[in-house]
Amino acid sequence: MHPVLFRIGGIPLNSYGLTLAVSFLLGVGLASRRCAARGIPKDDVTSMGVWVMMAAIVGSRALYVLTHLDEFAGAPIRIIAFWNGLYGLSMLGGVVLAIVVGFVYIARKKWPAWELADAVIPAFPLGIFITRVGCFLNGCCFGIPTESFAGVSFPYGSLPWSVYGHARLHPTQLYASAAGLYILLVLLLAGKRRHYPGFIFSLFLGLYGATRFGLEEFRHFDHRPCELLGYSVFAGRPGITDNQLVSLVMIAGSLILGVWLRLRRRKGC
């Protein structure tokens, strides 16, 4: 685990920050190339990427805060206290808000929404693939104890160590990274065939929702009863986490959206 890779004149280069920057640059590059085939200038895609990145950070923090209000009771300034470390983020919230902001940007530009959504969405799993490696190096988003061969022990003084000591834990960060790579490859392969506009986007929603739902079973911070704004969502069902609830909504949305877009295309709309 290496939360700080090295220092430049006393200024630390954070591993998570670096992977976040790399994922942004590569994601914008991938989206730009795919959008260029649809006549969208690179500068416009870059501008949209900046807004989407900011939305991802805000959304990640917002979902974490909404589902962990007890951690911020009496000290609301901690909600924006990123200077204390890159902990307390829920990537699922970032993905959701980033998608919303992306669609708003596309609508304001009056671009063909579903065609552009299909072109841009592979950048999301690419970002997940890269930034989750940063999570592993940073020591956040770790898993629960395991006796399997995949278990990883985190060093003394790290956040995982403060919870479980030297116990072997599921490297859920790397599981999530592998899931991001898998989704990216599936989307790129699916894009080689002709589909109705919006198919790739709806496919992403379903795949990401399904993989995230499964990963929640092995995570530490999210291995808790589902609560929103301090209230239990599923009384008597402590096995359902807040992120699993959002994942289920994404899966259902994928199916509904896919059926609607397919019927819409058949009707020639």
pLDDT tens for 94-149 read 888 999 999 999 999 899 999 999 999 999 999 999 999 998 998 888 999 999 99
Token representation of residue 3: 């939360």
Residue type, 218: F
Cα separation, 23 vs 94, whole angstroms: 14
DSSP string, 13-72: EEHHHHHHHHHHHHHHHHHHHHHHTTT--HHHHHHHHHHHHHHHHHHHHHHHHHH-GGGG
pLDDT of 268: 63
Token representation of residue 44: 């416009």
Question: Under 8 Å CB-to-CB from 20, ≥6 apart: which residues?
Answer: 131, 134
pLDDT in tens, 150-173: 999 999 888 899 899 999 999 999
pLDDT of 82: 55
- Averaged pLDDT, 84-94: 68
Intra-chain end-to-end CA distance of the chain, in Å: 52
pLDDT in tens, 27-43: 999 999 999 888 888 88
For 35-44, 122-131, 224-233, 239-248, which range has the lowest pLDDT when averaged over its residues? 224-233
Total domain count, the chain:
1
Query: Which structural domain range is residue 19 located in?
Result: 4-266
Q: pLDDT averaged over the chain?
A: 84
pLDDT of 244: 87
| CA distance to 14, 140, 177, 192, per residue, from 90 (Å) | 19, 11, 15, 32
- Averaged pLDDT, 7-15: 74
CA dihedral 152, 158, 159, 164 (to 10 degrees): 50
Please provide residue 24's backbone torsions phi and psi, each rounded to the nearest 5 degrees.
Answer: -65, -50
